[in-house]
Structure formats: C-alpha cells, structure tokens
Amino acid sequence: MATKAHKTKTTTVSRTPEHEDALKELFFDELKDIYWAEQHLAKALPKMIKGATSEDLKNTIETHLEETKNHVTRLESIFESVGEKAKAVKCEAMAGLLKEAEELLTETDKGTEVRDVAIISAAQKVEHYEIASYGTMRTLAGVLGFSEAQSLLDETLAEEKNADSLLTQVAENYVNEAAAAE
C-alpha cells in the first residue's frame, strides 16, 4: 500500500503593533482574573480544611493555602514586572467553582470520608482551572517578552500541578476506598 506524503504548510505570523496591544490586553485581563481568583481561594480554603476529616487532606490543603497566599504576592510582583498596577477583576469561573465547593460541603455529612472525596473533587476542579490559566499566561508572557513574569508564572504553575498531584495521592491512597466502605 502506498502512502501519501503530507506537506506541512508553515505560516509566518506577522506581529503588528495592534495585534501585540490586543494580546497584552488579553494577558492583563487574565492576570486581573487570576488575581481575584487567588484572593478568593485564600478565603475559601480554610472552610475546606475545617470540613475535612482526613489529616492528610487537611495538611495538603493547609500547605496549599500558604502557597495560595504566596501566589497572591507573586501576582503582585508580576503586575509590577509588566508595569501594571495590581487590580483584581471578578473571575466568574472561580466564583462558580467556589460556590460549588460550598454546596458540596453543605450537601455531605460532616465527619465522613464521602465529604473528603467531595472536598478533593472541588479542590481538583480549582487546581485544573488554575493550571490552565497559569499555563496560558506563562506562554503569553513569553510571547510578549515578559521574561520575569514568565518565570514567576512558571513557578506558580509548578506549585499548582504539585497541589493537584498531592490531592490525587490522598484520594487514591485511602480516601476513595474509605468512602466506598462507609
């Protein structure tokens, strides 16, 4: 059977000042969005800690709470590095995720592993949103030549990925099985 060779068309992107300005505006909008998200997550995580049964889960979320506070400070450094004033604009996605997390806490019984599974689920949804946001922003920072911002965003992205991994470990090590046995 003969195979047909595919030619790949390469496109040269011409960067006009207008396009770069639009991309910067998008980057700044995303920065304001995640700044709001991190500030509100820092207020919500203590509720998840209080609602958790597993000590490992509590410790994992407590560690991420401290990281989240550092993310807020790091975002302020990023704003400064790109010459913008730190400003938060409501992040509808994070607002929805945090509302869902609160609902899960009220809809599950206190002191149960099922509640811990719900907390892990809610926390991982938040982490996945943050991973997507920080990954996009890191890439945009690179394209725009914001090397300091890119480095800081990469640091936060690594922490978000680690938090997600730790939540998975807690779930898979025993919380999911313990919830199934309740």
pLDDT given at position 15:
64
E strand or H helix at 132 = helix 113-143
Cβ atoms 122, 96 nearer than 8 A = no
pTM here is 0.88
pLDDT given at position 176:
87
168 vs 121: CA distance, rounded Å:
9
pLDDT given at position 20:
75
CA distances from 79 to 38, 95, 97, 156, 166 (A): 14, 22, 25, 14, 29
**Domains of the chain, with CATH numbers?**
18-181 (1.20.1260.10)
Give, for all 182 residues of the chain, the pLDDT tens digit: 544 554 545 555 566 777 778 999 999 999 999 999 999 999 999 999 999 999 999 999 999 999 999 999 999 999 999 999 999 999 999 999 999 999 999 999 999 999 999 999 999 999 999 999 999 999 999 999 999 999 999 999 999 999 999 999 999 998 988 888 88
Phi, psi of 6 (to 5 degrees): -100, 130
pLDDT given at position 16:
75
pLDDT given at position 9:
52
Phi, psi of 138 (to 5 degrees): -60, -45
pLDDT given at position 28:
97
